[in-house]
Chain A
Amino acid sequence: MVLNSYAFASMISALISGGTAVFVWRKHGRGPAAGPLISFMLAATLWSFFYALELAVTSVPLKILFAQIEYLGITSTAPMAFVMVNEYINRERWKGARRFLLLGIIPFIVNVAVLTNAFHGLFWADIIPLQIDSFVVLKVKYGPFFWLNTGYAYLLLLWGTWQLGRVAAREGTLRRAQAGVMLAGILLPWLGNFLYVFGKNPFPGLDLTPFCFTLTGLAFAWGLFRLNLFNLLPVARSAVIENMPDGVIVLDAGDQVMDVNPAARKTLGVESTEIVGQLADVVFSKYFPLPVSVRQMPETLTEVMSSRLAETQYFNVLVTPLKNRNRQITGRIITLHNATLLKRAEIRLRASQQQLETQNAELRKFSRAVEQSGSTIVITDLNGVIEFVNPMFTQITGFLPEEAIGHTPAILKSGKHGPELYQEMWRVISGGGVWQGELINKKKNGEFYWEAVTISPVKDAAGKITHYLAIKDDITRRKEMEMDLAQARDEALEASRLKSQLLANVSHDMRSPLGSILGFTEMLQQGIYGAMSARQYEILTKVIQSTEQLLNFLNNLINQAQIESGKIVLNARLFPPEDVFDSVQSTAAALAQAKNLVITNRIEPDTRPFVYGDPYWIRQIVSNLISNAVKFTEQGAIDVYIFKPDSTHWAIQVKDTGIGIPEEAQSHVFESFWQVDGGITKKQSSGSGLGLSIVKQLVTLMNGEISLASRVNQGATFTITLPLIADAGETK
């Protein structure tokens, strides 16, 4: 073995390749494309190493053996470079074990051909040892399999070169640098090999290819660590940008549009050809409403509203300056993020928040109203268990909210109402109705109080009862007043009853002595107790008149008392009209007689045989009217006339020839204790003022009517009209 300069150079190359492989493996063992790069470097190492050995030995068979081993590396380098390029440009379809095997078919055949060359000479047709200076190289003539290998390797390298060239031409600065490094790495062995194969080698007999491959490995390794060769995959990145939903617009340092991704094109509504090369501000003023020029845009998210589209859309715009190592701005990236959905959600959220706030305000209002209500408010669940009481509840009952909530309103039960009341209450409210009533309840301190209660069911939107609401007012004071009133009323009724009773007794007790006075006076006048002088007779007549007046007054007082106490029960029936005059004439007769007045009775035949009414009270009416007539008549006649004004009524008319009643007084004559004012009237009459009032009240009770026709000094005519048959009011 001779260590010549060729062998030495080869060995150095092997060391560099091997070292690079180890270095890559240690620094970048799991990174992208590390496998192919390490494999590539190992293949170059193998090649260089055995080439060094081939050059070092002098024995031709040994040289051939080493050359054969070399081919394991030689045939691997080009496919490995191919895989690396694919990794770089991210050609997915060239990844995976099957592709890898496919790539290895030709290298395998070539290796077999190399190893078996002694038998067929199809790889090396002829091998001639050639002495160069102090060492021997093999000069060979190539067979078809050699060309197969070379062609295959060239094909792969050519393809890689072309791909890298495309990337270098198309992509940005970084990518261009990366692609350049890779291109250089891949072109070098090609050059070396070309020189060797085609005999243009400046070092005769020395194959430069393994050296070139070592340089390739170095270039790749440098690119890997300096230029992040495999970290940013341009196609992936480009795919991301192409497919991302956000619009991306790239500007150069002069704010000219360099690139637009599809999302941005869609947002602006333009084709990239329309705007690439144009000034960004011109483009935006046409297609998208940026608030300020691109340079003035802050480097933060800016919200922009665009109404250029059918419906208003919202965008978050971010302008990011791109800077080089020297902090100079070399361009800008504008991203347009369509935030419409988010914005709309935000608007909806704000609207619903506003609505919530309004509702809250309403709720607060209701809540305060309930809290501060002057009525007690209780809310229970469906079982009547208290869920809420307002402060008034505590104020009235003495039960704190925590003492009431969880219990039923039965804590207030006074025991003064029977179970039927509560059953009825439940029946009503559980049926969806409103129950109202007055309850006597018991406070915490045992005191009883009255409440006016309204309980209503609270229904949900579906009409299902969810709660019951009770609104209650303390009516204890009112109840006490009512009870006082009721008591007062009872007392008044009792007093009235006693008054009536007293009057009845007085009446009875006065009538008997009055009877005696009247009877004895009459007998005296009659001369039963001896002859009377004219003067004595006259005096006795005055006694009788006074007695009659007293009696009349007594009757009216009693009648009035009976009317007032509602004691009068009309006993209406059919009776002969003549009965009206029974016992009437006698009382008024004496008075009339004394005044020389004539009382006449007339009955229309068509009122016979019967008229209708309570004869007792009708006589009372007629008696009062005749007394009234006699009282105000000094001379002439009093006519009582019974007739039928129509088929369903009968009437009694009492007509006098007296002083009459002034028109202005006519409406008052039926009022109690009222008398026509004036000296003459006073002197001439001494009525109680009850007579006509009683007449009016009795006639009204009988569903009749009374009318008065009179003129001063031309007499008065009272007409009473009564129904001939019972009407509804009376049959009751």
Chain B
Amino acid sequence: MSTAPQLEKPLALIVEDDIAQAGIFEQALQMADFETQIITDGQAALDILQTITPSLVVLDLHLPNVSGEEILRAIRAEPRLAGVRVMLATANPLAAESLRKLSDLVLLKPISFHQLRDMAIRLRP
């Protein structure tokens, strides 16, 4: 369900292994006027971040192969990605808390559709 990036809209990368959840995120972000791309694998997310520079990353912490925390650290360690906003989406409140400083926003699952949409609008460049 990937869409080719269009330059006129900012790109939101959705890293979430739950397809249904990813779909909801996509819908909300699109309503917030983002281009969206869904990645369901941690390693794939790291790989794609080598080549693209999204405006926003909605990052699940519980991912196959590479954890969301590692991806977050990788983003924060990469100067090219310095401007990237990261929204953590997690079902583990304590883990979320520990990463609060590295992220721009922490959302506890289940995440309200409206909430995500409103937050995403705020994080638009």
Q: Look across to chain A and name the residue whose beta carbon is closest to the beta carbon of B24.
A: A519
A512 touches B27 (CB 8 A): no
A511 and B114 in contact, given A504-B92, A616-B93 (Cβ under 8 angstroms)? no
> When chains A and B are docked, how far (Å) is the Cα of A590 from the Cα of B114?
11
Is there a chain A Cβ closer than 8 Å to B70's Cβ? no
| Number of A-B residue pairs having CB atoms within 8 Å of each other in the complex | 69
> When chains A and B are docked, how far (Å) is the Cα of A517 from the Cα of B109?
11
**Chain B residues within 8 Å of chain A by Cβ, number:** 23
A508 touches B112 (CB 8 A): no
A512 and B113 in contact, given A571-B97, A583-B108 (Cβ under 8 angstroms)? no
Contact among A507, A526, A547, A586 with B91 in the assembled complex (CB-CB below 8 Å): A507
Is there a chain A Cβ closer than 8 Å to B21's Cβ? yes
A523 touches B110 (CB 8 A): no
Is there a chain B Cβ closer than 8 Å to A522's Cβ? yes
Which chain B residues border A701 with CB–CB below 8 Å? none
Is there a chain A Cβ closer than 8 Å to B4's Cβ? no
B112 touches A518 (CB 8 A): yes
Q: Look across to chain A and name the residue whose beta carbon is closest to the beta carbon of B110.
A: A515
> When chains A and B are docked, how far (Å) is the Cα of A508 from the Cα of B18?
12
Q: Look across to chain B and name the residue whose beta carbon is closest to the beta carbon of A516.
A: B20
> When chains A and B are docked, how far (Å) is the Cα of A586 from the Cα of B110?
11
B111 touches A522 (CB 8 A): no
Say how far B24's CB is from chain A's closest CB, in angstroms. Answer: 3
A523 and B18 in contact, given A504-B92, A508-B91, A515-B109 (Cβ under 8 angstroms)? no
B111 touches A519 (CB 8 A): yes
Per-residue 0/1 for A511-554: is the Cβ within 8 Å of any B Cβ (1 yes, 0 no)? 11011111110110010100000000000000000010001000
Q: Look across to chain A and name the residue whose beta carbon is closest to the beta carbon of B62.
A: A508
A516 touches B62 (CB 8 A): no
> When chains A and B are docked, how far (Å) is the Cα of A512 from the Cα of B108?
10
Which chain A residues border B20 with CB–CB below 8 Å? 516, 519-520
Say how far A523's CB is from chain B's closest CB, in angstroms. Answer: 6
Say how far B38's CB is from chain A's closest CB, in angstroms. Answer: 14
> When chains A and B are docked, how far (Å) is the Cα of A507 from the Cα of B109?
10
Chain A interface main SS type: helix
> When chains A and B are docked, how far (Å) is the Cα of A504 from the Cα of B93?
10
The residue among B28, B62, B112 with the most chain A CB atoms within 10 A of its own CB is B112
Please tell me the size bucket of the interface on A.
Answer: 20 to 34
Per-residue 0/1 for B79-115: is the Cβ within 8 Å of any A Cβ (1 yes, 0 no)? 0000000000001111001000000001111111111
> When chains A and B are docked, how far (Å) is the Cα of A514 from the Cα of B114?
15
Which chain B residues border A518 with CB–CB below 8 Å? 110-113
A515 touches B21 (CB 8 A): yes
Q: Look across to chain A and name the residue whose beta carbon is closest to the beta carbon of B108.
A: A583
A519 touches B21 (CB 8 A): yes
A523 and B94 in contact, given A512-B18, A518-B113 (Cβ under 8 angstroms)? no
Say how far B92's CB is from chain A's closest CB, in angstroms. Answer: 6
A526 and B110 in contact, given A516-B18, A571-B97 (Cβ under 8 angstroms)? no
A520 touches B91 (CB 8 A): no
Say how far B87's CB is from chain A's closest CB, in angstroms. Answer: 12
> When chains A and B are docked, how far (Å) is the Cα of A432 from the Cα of B21?
76
B107 touches A511 (CB 8 A): no
Contact among A504, A511, A586, A590 with B109 in the assembled complex (CB-CB below 8 Å): A511
Q: Look across to chain B and name the residue whose beta carbon is closest to the beta carbon of A555.
A: B93
Say how far A569's CB is from chain B's closest CB, in angstroms. Answer: 9
Per-residue 0/1 for B51-68: is the Cβ within 8 Å of any A Cβ (1 yes, 0 no)? 000000000001000000
> When chains A and B are docked, how far (Å) is the Cα of A586 from the Cα of B119?
11
Which chain B residues border A517 with CB–CB below 8 Å? 110
A586 and B27 in contact, given A515-B21, A516-B18, A616-B97 (Cβ under 8 angstroms)? no
Say how far A722's CB is from chain B's closest CB, in angstroms. Answer: 18
> When chains A and B are docked, how far (Å) is the Cα of A651 from the Cα of B94?
24
> When chains A and B are docked, how far (Å) is the Cα of A518 from the Cα of B107?
14
A515 and B92 in contact, given A523-B27, A571-B97 (Cβ under 8 angstroms)? no
A511 touches B24 (CB 8 A): no
Per-residue 0/1 for A176-196: is the Cβ within 8 Å of any B Cβ (1 yes, 0 no)? 000000000000000000000
Which chain A residues border B109 with CB–CB below 8 Å? 511-512, 514-515
B91 touches A512 (CB 8 A): yes
B113 touches A523 (CB 8 A): yes
Q: Look across to chain A and name the residue whose beta carbon is closest to the beta carbon of B115.
A: A586
Say how far A622's CB is from chain B's closest CB, in angstroms. Answer: 14
A586 touches B113 (CB 8 A): no
A515 touches B24 (CB 8 A): yes
A523 touches B107 (CB 8 A): no
Contact among A508, A516, A590 with B24 in the assembled complex (CB-CB below 8 Å): A516
> When chains A and B are docked, how far (Å) is the Cα of A497 from the Cα of B46?
34
Which chain A residues border B92 with CB–CB below 8 Å? 504, 507-508
Q: Look across to chain A and name the residue whose beta carbon is closest to the beta carbon of B107.
A: A583
> When chains A and B are docked, how far (Å) is the Cα of A586 from the Cα of B107?
11
A522 touches B93 (CB 8 A): no
Which chain A residues border B97 with CB–CB below 8 Å? 571, 616
Which chain A residues border B115 with CB–CB below 8 Å? 583, 586
> When chains A and B are docked, how far (Å) is the Cα of A616 from the Cα of B107?
12
> When chains A and B are docked, how far (Å) is the Cα of A507 from the Cα of B110?
11
Q: Look across to chain B and name the residue whose beta carbon is closest to the beta carbon of A529.
A: B27
Say how far A308's CB is from chain B's closest CB, in angstroms. Answer: 106
Say how far B104's CB is from chain A's closest CB, in angstroms. Answer: 12
Per-residue 0/1 for B11-35: is the Cβ within 8 Å of any A Cβ (1 yes, 0 no)? 0000000101100100110010000
Q: Look across to chain B and name the residue whose beta carbon is closest to the beta carbon of A575.
A: B100
Contact among A522, A551, A583 with B113 in the assembled complex (CB-CB below 8 Å): A522
> When chains A and B are docked, how far (Å) is the Cα of A148 from the Cα of B111?
172
Say how far A578's CB is from chain B's closest CB, in angstroms. Answer: 14
B113 touches A511 (CB 8 A): no
Could you name 17 residue pairs across A and B whose Cβ atoms are closer than 8 Å?
A507-B92, A508-B91, A512-B18, A512-B109, A515-B18, A515-B91, A516-B24, A518-B110, A518-B112, A519-B20, A519-B24, A519-B113, A522-B114, A523-B24, A526-B31, A547-B110, A583-B115
Closest 7 A-B residue pairs measured CB to CB?
A519-B24, A515-B110, A511-B91, A522-B113, A514-B110, A511-B109, A516-B20
> What 20 new A-B contacts, CB under 8 Å, besides A519-B110, A523-B27?
A504-B92, A507-B92, A511-B108, A511-B109, A512-B91, A515-B91, A515-B109, A516-B21, A518-B112, A518-B113, A519-B20, A519-B21, A519-B28, A519-B111, A522-B112, A522-B114, A523-B113, A528-B27, A547-B110, A616-B94
Interface residues of A (CB under 8 A from B): 504, 507-508, 511-512, 514-520, 522-523, 526, 528, 547, 551, 571, 583, 586, 590, 616
